[in-house]
Amino acid sequence: MRKYIYNREGYAFLTPWLLGFILFTAIPMILSFYFSFTQYDVLTPPKWVGLRNYIDMANDPRVHKSLQVTFTYVGLGVPLQIIFALFVAILLNRDRPGIRTYRAIYYLPSLFGGSVAVAILWRQVFNKEGLINQFLALLGIEGKNWIASPETALYTLIVLLIWQFGSPMVIFLSGLKQISKEYYEAAMIDGAGRIRMLFSITLPLLTPLIFFNLVMGIINAFQAFTPAYIISGGTGAPVDSTLFYTLYLYIKGFQHFSMGYASALAWVLLVIISIMTALMFLLSRFWVHYEE
Amino acid sequence: MSKKVLLFLVVAMLSAIMVFSTGLAFAEQVEIRAAWWGDTGRHELYNKIIDIFESKNPDIKVIREPTSWLDYWDKLTVQSAGGRAPDFIGMHLQFAADYVRRGILEPLEPFVGEGVIDISKHSEAAISTGTMDGVLYMIPMGLTTQTMVVNNSILEELGVEPPNFDWTWDDVKTIGLKVRGAFDEKGDKNKWFIADSSGAYQIFRYWVRQRGQEDLYTADGNIAYTAEDAATWFTMWNDLRENNIVPDAATTTEYARATLEDNLFARQRIIITGIPVNQYKLYLNAVPGANLLLVRNPSLVDGLPGEFVEGAHFAVSAHSTPEKKLAAAKLIDFWVNDPDSIELYRLDQGVPSNREMAEFLMTIVDEADQKIIEYVNKTSEIARPINFPPAGASEVNSLFEQIAEKVRFGQLTPEDGGEQLVSQAQDILNKHK
Amino acid sequence: MGEQNRSIVIYYLFITLFALVMIYPLLWMTSASFKEDVEIFQSPSLIPQNPTFNNYAYGWRGVSGYTFGRFLFNSFLISFIGIIANILSCSMTAFAFAKLDFRFRNIFFAIMMITLMLPFHVRLIPQYIIFNKMGWVDTFLPLTVPRFFATDGFFIFLLVQFMRNIPNEIMDAARIDGASAWQIYARIMMPLSTPALVTVAIFTFIWTWNDFFSQMIYISSPSKFTVSLALRMFVDATGESSWGALFAMSCVSLLPLFIIFIVFQRFLVEGIMMGSLKG
């Protein structure tokens, strides 16, 4: 597919973003990079210390723990959330009465975002006397304190991520709307069944958005902060089992006044995420199909 | 839609925002910004107090910036980084060291000297809580101290005698076992005698001081306790936990950050918990109808009294103009000395450090508040001085909580916990020197 | 016919059951909003013992003399401006990345993606310092103006993916007819991207409405408080929290979001122009 080469037009349309990048993003990024080589307690000017923050990071057991926690969260949470979102989007992509209200209800959990209310609600569900355990009691099983035990606390956060699948779902819904009806009509004439149409038409045409949700899901999950913050009260409790990487970053920067160290943490995270994203872009040519 | 219309809309919108957000400036008036933390109730109260101040000082206008406790410190940090800390700042000993040692707070001696802030009627102990290295940085807005509140109604139900006012750590176990027995008879598996304070740095402080150390930190900014102090502390709490006198580790963690109405005491699942005494009335409201007693923190047999007086304070920003600093200082003076202010303020953050005002309050407050004032007065008599925490204290605080939690979940022995605590805490302090 | 009816019933049964799981927390919160503070944590049932409207009345009173209505207005203002800003700026940028070819395009795209990967806590202080120097602190400017400059990379990327799914033949045909890039953008791309733009609008509104941290940092005067800031005021560890009021006002604040979502869904309508273009 040819694209026309129009330098001037391209830059004209890009101007808002370019300006925004220079004014609002580039300078903070450069500054934070600079801070990562300093000892900066925020309230007094930074002091240059070279690579010390990066070296300290390599030896900091809490960094290792937070990486472990974060990778688990991303590796389990994102794929599961997207699968759910896809499943429900396809399910709700019907023109049936009241379907719009159902879609809104399924989107409801995402509306809660990171409010204080969610923390309370999650405790009500996952603590010793919570809903889950009440349900398990009916089956004769005695549940533990899921939300406050080191072995299981992180998984309650993963469930929270999956429960808030509304955003990928909506994106899939709008993608499903973009697929021309003619494809399905043609397939029906050829005698294809529903499952066949799903795998031959719907999924392939949705790959650009599956890819989008995957990439954004991973980028966002690596930077997840609010769930851990509100549920652990900003501590990563119990015993750092919910210490997301950015939560640790926040603790170091804002509570321990080590903004230099926090900046170093941030840039290492950036490198990790960009490597993963680049990999995903490279691999995308094998499975993502664009209509252009 | 044509480009022009779009452009016009955009410009119109931007203009609207600009008009909306910039206020009108008043000439000839000093404008200061006052920030504090609290809930909606406190915001109403403080607004009223400031209104009275403004009516008495028409040349000063106070812009109010209330926040909730959770966010107050994040915001103050960011604002200070931008050189934009509020002129009149609510401050707390927990974080004060970091701000004082980085030059954010203005020394207040000059204002005292010129009579702007009158501390003649304030007790020495009170003023010393705001003094670091001999320099006065903040004035207490209320004095308080740690106490333990006891739900005597539950004890009566269980048929167990409440602890004495001067009870000891040994009593905790003795009475605790009795209570445990009584609960088990009734089948109350989810209730316990006392809250697990193994991770409460401020109660550990009592332990340390009772064992003869000067405080958590020495006067020159080092760790003042030993690994053994910590190890014995953790061992004691492990023992209490094994005997089911305090809740299990998971329950303690779950409720660690709960608010007042939400915590184990308010839910009537534990009988005793540590609170700052000025919250006594709030707890009365949270457990309506219950008979609540106040007792001291348990003391050590043959140990020294660990008591000390603390509170919440007001300070003035150092990065401000002289007129604004003066105005902020006047506000402080009004707040802690003027009867019109005290009449409204009552015991919001504790007992007024102005002795005359405290006596004045005794005549107009109710029984519960009188109890609080008496408790603070009693404590002041036996309290020993404190050492102002060094920079990095808040980091040490969270280190302590983490180590205590690991010990709670059995991931660390008390001895190892003690060792790690002392060495890592000292490292942190060294880093910030 | 019976077969079909039965499968419809099963369908609805299934999605209703699932929906209950989604909606339970809202039910809990709504019931809590009608309970007295003390009862909220004492009794786990969904039916309040002494239903009361106090929480709504108290919560509506707001903070420092400004009612919750003011906070709702502020949130609406910022969110709507955000929608317009994002739709304009992000679509222009996405069009450039997806359909126009120019030097350094891929590099700029990579840079844009990278801006998404730096945790905002470390950008916070430098950004605050910049905005402070411009005198924008305690105004709505830091929360609205940047959006006009396509700072939300998420939406740029989203629109890129949508636009790449629109066949180039349409553009080529328009070029042959002598259309300029702006005309292609305004007359072809934008209408065809309606489902995506609607998605951008919905998300921008909801995320701005719920965004808490930036609003907390840049807004100090109660008159400018937004809903998410005001909600934080109801719960405080150092005093008496007004849980009832928190839940009541949370329900109130969820209502506009819910409505916006249902209303805008109308535009996520059947594959619009696609069919007609093929012919």
Phi, psi of C166 (to 5 degrees): -95, 125
Cβ distance A249 to C119 less than 8 Å, yes or no, reads yes
* Phi, psi for residue C63 in degrees, rounded to 5: -130, 140
The pair of three-digit structure tokens given for residue B259, joined into one six-digit string: 């608010």
- Which residue in B277, B264, B225 sits closest to B400, CA to CA? B225
Q: Rounded to an integer, what distance in angstroms lies between the CA atom of residue B127 and that of residue B121?
A: 10
Position C123 scores a pLDDT of: 86
Q: pLDDT at position A113, please?
A: 76
Contact predicate B373/B350, CB 8 Å: no
Q: Could you tell me the two tokens for B229? A: 């102090």
Of B189, B176, B249, B277, the residue nearest B405 (C-alpha): B249
- Residues 6 or more apart in contact with residue B141 via CB below 8 angstroms: B90, B311, B312, B313, B314, B335, B336, B345, B348, B349, B350
Torsion of CA B212, B216, B219, B224, to 10 degrees: 60
Q: What is the pLDDT of residue C146?
A: 93
List the single range of A253-267, B79-93, B312-326, C256-270 with lowest mean pLDDT.
Answer: C256-270
- Rounded to a whole number of angstroms, the distance from the CA of A108 to the nearest CA of chain B is 26
Question: Hey, what are B420's tokens?
Answer: 């790690």
Of the candidates A123, A238, A255, which has its C-beta nearest B409's C-beta?
A238
Mutation site, C16, C26, C31, C100, interface A, largest A CB count within 10 A: C100
Q: Which residue has the higher pLDDT, A187 or C75?
A: C75
Using CB atoms, pick whichever of B17, B40, B78 lies closest to residue C125. B78
Q: Where in chain B is the domain with CATH 3.40.190.10?
A: 3-142+310-376, 146-308+386-432
Give the residue ranges of DSSP H helices in B187-226: 201-210
Looking at chain B, the whole-number percentage of residues with pLDDT higher than 90 is 61
Dihedrals φ, ψ of B312, to 5°? -110, 150
Q: One digit per residue, pLDDT tens: chain A, 292 residues?
A: 445 556 788 889 999 999 999 989 999 999 999 999 999 988 888 999 999 999 999 999 999 999 999 999 999 999 999 999 999 999 888 888 888 888 888 988 888 877 778 888 888 889 888 888 988 999 988 889 999 999 999 999 999 999 999 889 988 988 888 787 888 888 888 888 888 888 888 898 899 999 999 999 999 999 999 889 888 888 887 889 999 999 999 999 988 889 999 999 999 999 999 999 999 999 999 999 887 7
pLDDT at residue C195 is higher than 80: yes
Q: Phi then psi for B258, rounded to 5 degrees?
A: -70, 150
Q: Is B9 on the interface with C (CB under 8 A)?
A: yes
Nearest to B385 by CA among B224, B256, B250: B224
How far apart CA A211 and CA A207 sit, in angstroms, is: 6
Q: Where does A60-287 sit in CATH, by number?
A: 1.10.3720.10
pLDDT at position B194, please?
95
Spell out the domain ranges in chain A. Answer: 60-287
Task: Tell whether the model's pLDDT for residue B204 goes beyond 50.
Answer: yes
Torsion of CA C212, C214, C217, C221, to 10 degrees: -70
Q: pTM (2 decimals)?
A: 0.88
**Amino acid identity, residue A267?**
W
Angle of helix A131-138 relative to helix A116-126, nearest 10 degrees? 20
Give the residue, B1 or B173, on which the prediction is more confident. B173
Give the bridge partners for B36, in sequence order: B66
Please, which pLDDT band fits residue B15 given cuts at 50, 70 and 90?
low
Residue B327 confidence (pLDDT): 94
DSSP letter assigned to residue C255: H
Q: Which residues pair with B295 in a beta bridge?
A: B148
Q: What is the mean pLDDT of residues B170-193?
A: 93
CB B264 within 8 A of CB B196: no
The residues, ordered by sequence, that sit 6+ positions from A264 with a Cβ below 8 Å of its Cβ are A36, A37, A53, A54, A57
Where are the alpha helices (H) located in C68-193, listed in sequence order?
68-99, 105-115, 120-133, 141-144, 153-164, 168-176, 181-183, 190-192
The CATH architecture annotation of domain B3-142+310-376 reads: 3-Layer(aba) Sandwich (3.40)
Interacting residues of C172 by C-beta distance below 8 A, sequence separation 6+: A2, A4
Dihedral sign from CA coordinates of B135, B136, B137, B142: positive
Stretch C111-129: mean pLDDT: 89
> How many residue pairs bridge chain A and chain C with CB atoms within 8 Å of each other?
271
**Three-state SS sequence of A217-250:** HHHHHHCCCHHHHHHHCCCCCCCCCCCCHHHHHH
Residue in A148, A233, A256 nearest the CB of B395 = A256
The per-residue pLDDT of chain C, averaged, comes to: 85
Chain A residues whose beta carbon lies within 8 Å of the beta carbon of residue C167: 291-292
Chain A hits for B401, CB-CB cut-off 8 Å, are 235
Confidence band, pLDDT 50/70/90 cuts, at residue C270: very low
* Cβ–Cβ below 8 Å for B40 and C63: yes
Residues of C in contact with B84 (CB under 8 A): 132, 137
C68-99 vs C194-210: helix axis angle to the nearest 10? 140
- The pLDDT of residue B156 is above 90: yes
Chains with at least 3 CB pairs less than 8 angstroms from chain A = B, C
Q: From the list B13, B66, B74, which residue is nearest C63 (CB)?
A: B66
Contacts for A55 with CB less than 8 Å, ≥ 6 apart: none
Q: Is the peptide bond before B66 cis (omega within 30 degrees of 0)?
A: no
Q: What angle do CA A173, A178, A183 make, to 5 degrees?
A: 115
Beta bridge partner(s), residue B293: B150
The C-alpha of C64 sits at a distance from chain B's nearest C-alpha, in angstroms, of 6
What ipTM was estimated for this complex? 0.86
Q: Is C269 exposed, middle or buried (0-12, 13-18, 19+ CB in 10 A)?
A: exposed
**B265: helix, strand or coil:** coil
User: What integer is the mean pLDDT of C113-120?
Assistant: 89
Q: What is the pLDDT of residue B25?
A: 45
Which residue of A103, A111, A215 is in closest CB contact with C254? A111
Query: Is B10 an interface residue toward A (CB < 8 Å)?
Result: no
Report the amino acid identity of residue A81: Q
A266 neighbors A36 (Cβ within 8 angstroms):
yes
Q: What SS3 state is found at B110? A: helix
Length of chain A: 292
Confidence of residue C268 (pLDDT cuts 50, 70, 90): low
- Reported as type and span, the H/E element at residue B35 is strand B30-37
Cβ pair C126:A28 closer than 8 A: yes
List all residues of chain B from 258 to 287 with a beta carbon under 8 Å from chain C: 259-262, 266-267, 282, 285-286
> Is the pLDDT assigned to residue B19 strictly greater than 80?
no
Q: Which of C109, C98, C101 is nearest to C161 (CA)?
A: C98
What is the edge-to-edge ordering of all strands in the sheet holding B60-67? B60-67, B30-37, B88-92, B310-316, B138-144
- Return the CATH fold of C63-277: MetI-like fold (1.10.3720)
CATH of B146-308+386-432, one of 3.90.25.10, 3.40.190.10, 3.20.140.10, 3.50.30.30: 3.40.190.10
- Candidates C77, C220, C225, partner chain B, best to mutate (most B CBs within 10 A): C220
Per-residue pLDDT band for C2 (boundaries 50, 70, 90) equals: low
Pairing of strands B30-37, B88-92: parallel
H-helix or E-strand spanning residue B192 = strand B192-194
Q: How far is the CA of C175 from the CAs of A6, B172, B421, C170, in angstroms?
A: 12, 86, 72, 9
Question: From start to end of B289-401, where are the E strands?
Answer: 292-295, 310-316
CB-based contacts of C145: which residues, under 8 Å, 6+ apart? B14, C136
Q: Mean pLDDT, chain B, as a whole number? A: 89
- Spatial contact of B122 and B243, defined as CB atoms under 8 Å apart: no
Q: Which tokens in the block code for residue C268?
A: 């996520």
Q: In what order do the strands lie in the sheet with B292-295?
A: B192-194, B270-276, B146-151, B292-295
What three-state secondary structure class fits B385? coil
Buried b (16+ CB within 10 A) or exposed e, A131-157: bbbeeeeeeeeebbbbbbbbebbbbbb
